[in-house]
Amino acid sequence: MSALTTASDGFRLHGEPFRIVSGAMHYFRVHPDQWADRLRKARLMGLNTVETYVPWNLHQPEPGTLVLDGFLDLPRYLRLAQAEGLYVLLRPGPYICAEWDGGGLPSWLTTDPDIRLRTSDPRFTDALDRYLDLLLPPLLPHLAASGGPVIAVQVENEYGAYGDDTAYLEHLARALRTGGVGELLFTCDQTDPEHLAAGSLPGVLTTGTFGSRVTESLERLRVHRPEGPLMCAEFWIGWFDHWGEPHHVRDAADAAADLDRLLSAGASVNIYMFHGGTNFGFTNGANHDHAYEPIVTSYDYDAALTESGDPGPKYHAFREVIARHAPVPDEPVPAPAPKLPPTPVELDHRVPLLPHASVLAGPVRVDADPVTMEELGLRAGYALYRTTVPVPGDGVLHFAGGVGDRAQVFVDGAPVGVLERERHEEALPVRVPRAGATLDVLVENMGGVNYGPRIGSPKGLLGPVTFDGTALRGWHCHPLALDDPGAVPFAPVASAPPGEGAQGAQGVQGEEGEAEAPADAGPAFHRGTFEVRTPADTFLSLPGWTKGQAWINGFHLGRYWNRGPQRTLYVPAPVLRPGTNELVLLELQATTRRRAHLTDTPDLGPVKP
């Protein structure tokens, strides 16, 4: 029997009136050593519940597997929430959106060109059933019926914005029940009447998602469900960022006023996001409406807790609002966590990528046209495609179907141009200096589309490649997952000759008098070390660097790009260790400096007006 039930006037928990005051915090976006700290801060803000998605693609990277450790130790996260006195809303999808790679759907599933995703297509539901058969048993002890914190479980996610296959939703609800989930089930949709109609199920609580127009949104929800609790399952208090656009923020007083309207109306709420966290590694998603738009590494979301877990303006404003409607702990608001003192990092070792690609991944020989990343078995990262051009001269390289998502092109090792999916680019004029010149194409997966019909769009080279109409065949394809960039053979960087460097050919001074190195063209790995006395949160700043990936002590911080808006990468304190630490960068284009900086202040870029 479900611990949380509904009545005509609201929720009941163990038979007593209960209002859900929840905040979203995705365990997979927060370092596990920081979960307890973030959950404690949720309780101190006045929340009685936390909400999280469950990413299918991480928990099941291959069919028949289940990963439940490290960042994915969901049972541990649930235990910590309960120890803090918090209930949990669990949102297992299977689709989660969340600005997450592929919307959480695994690439081994979405690459099937015939499968009809998020429908009652047996190819989809069979895979889903097998996943739930593995996922649910270790979670059952944490349901409220077994004394755990999970009081409600979501069926799908904003399905009304995608489809209208009621049979699929019924199948999913039945699979949860058959798997042992006896707790309250709910759906959530934007409060458009058509979305609510298509995404709801009889006998399953309908909730809404919105960030403003509270009265209007609640009225629409009430029209759809004339009786029972009103709940905003995603109260959007900020927003996410794409590369190349301003950083989104929302005024704290404005968000707090709408939260007060929600609670004054007697509704329950899940604040999205209470704590956003970070798209570490290759986990960011992308949107694709008129153009492909990848999402940045930070998922700060202008949330109540900042990306580094410090109470922000909304934390204080929301705490005051919640205190008018529900009990708030009589404990002081937590102070910001200590930060590492500003620390320079000299990157004094380097190795170019193109000549050493085989160290990271042996080539896959393809006699005909190049194949996609998915056909190479690559879920994320980069693919290096190499062939030769049989004839010399000036001409046009044409990539049929474009690239997924960004391709850097080299002839005999020299860069000749970049093609980007977001600009719909397919052709590049080049000069081939000799017959048999080597053509290298380094393609970057910038993140899987997480919303709409383009989920599962392929990555890599998407069709035949020609030079002035002549098909280029016989490709060597290196699938670069970059699981262990430390395996590359770093060598010390030669010092600038006397008279060069600070006062020579470049003659440029960087920040704080730092001498800029001679231009260092990529793509290449760069390595440096730095000393830490006491580990603390910090932010990696890379002035003078262009685009690439960053790792500290083997931990993949994620993508950087001078296109912005994001200018620093968050480094969680648990990633650092006392003594010597290692920074590795994969710089794809060029850098004018050989120094990085660890700072005590984040910079997420200029704010959207």
Could you give the CA distance from residue 187 to residue 48 in angstroms, rounded to a whole number?
A: 20
The token pair at 572 is 């969680």
**Six-digit token pair at 325?**
């409607």
Rounded to whole angstroms, the Cα distance separating 346 from 528 reads: 5
Segments of 63-147 assigned E as strands: 87-91
422 part of the active site: no
Residue type, 303: A
Query: What amino acid occupies position 73?
Result: D
Residues 6+ away with beta carbon under 8 Å from 332: none
- DSSP for 208-267, please give it: EEESS-HHHHHHHHHHHSSSS--EEEEEE-S---BTTSPBP---HHHHHHHHHHHHHTT-
What is the three-class DSSP state of 316? helix
Catalytic (active site) residue 374: no
337 within 8 A of 314, measured Cβ to Cβ: no
Would you state the structure tokens that stand for residue 68, as one six-digit string? 């439940």
Question: For the chain, how many residues are written?
Answer: 609
Q: What b-and-e string marks burial along 479-509, b requiring 16 or more CB atoms within 10 Å of the CB?
A: bbbbeebeebebeebeebeeeebbeeebebe
Q: Report, in angstroms and rounded to the nearest whole number, the Rg of the chain calculated over CA atoms.
A: 25
Q: Are strands 21-25 and 49-53 parallel, antiparallel or unpaired?
A: parallel
Nearest 5°: CA angle at 283, between 281 and 288?
135
Cα–Cα distance for residue pair 158/209, rounded to 1 Å: 8
Question: d(Cα 203, Cα 213) in Å, to the nearest integer?
Answer: 27
Tell me the sheet residues that pair with 476.
365, 386
Candidate list 84, 234, 374, 422, residue with the active-site label: 234
Distance of alpha carbon 470 from alpha carbon 369, whole angstroms: 12
Tally Cβ neighbours within 10 Å of residue 145.
16
Considering only CA atoms, which of 26, 155, 174 is closest in space to residue 94? Answer: 155
Q: How far apart are CA 32 and CA 21, in angstroms?
A: 24
> Which listed residue (158, 293, 374, 422) is catalytic?
158
Cis peptide preceding 122, ω within 30 of 0 = no
Q: Which residue stretches of 90-185 are H helix?
A: 107-110, 122-139, 166-178
Distance in angstroms (rounded) separating the CA atoms of residues 24 and 468? 53
Q: Of 97, 459, 443, 449, nearest to 286 (Cα)?
A: 449
Q: What angle do CA 452, 454, 458 make, to 5 degrees?
A: 155
Would you say 187 and 233 are in contact if contact means Cβ atoms under 8 Å apart?
Answer: no
As annotated, the active-site residues are 158, 234
